[in-house]
Amino acid sequence: MAVLEKKPVQVYLGPRHQSILERIVEKLDISKAEALRQGLESLAREVVPAEEDPAWQLIGLMGEDTDSPGDLSVNHDKYLVEWSSND
């Protein structure tokens, strides 16, 4: 399993944004860092087209001529592992 590496980032917030951040962390009971991470993820969904998401590349991996199993939507991880080990 890959180790996730977090790097510190310094951010300067004015009083208005500090207040917004404080309300968010209090309401959601999360850290300021987690609130900022979630905010970045939300913004990325609006800004980055879905086609650029690496998960988008999974569509069509099995090919059109492959008989898709009936439980593909439930066991997709299992089938991806099987498919990738066939290379």
Mean pLDDT for each 10-residue chunk of the chain (87 residues)? 79 96 97 94 82 70 63 77 73
Q: Indicate the SS3 state at residue 77.
A: helix
Q: What is the pLDDT of residue 33?
A: 94
Q: What is the pLDDT of residue 64?
A: 58
Residues 46, 40: contact at Cβ < 8 Å? no
Q: What is the pTM of this model?
A: 0.53
Q: What is the pLDDT of residue 10?
A: 94
Residues 80, 73: contact at Cβ < 8 Å? no
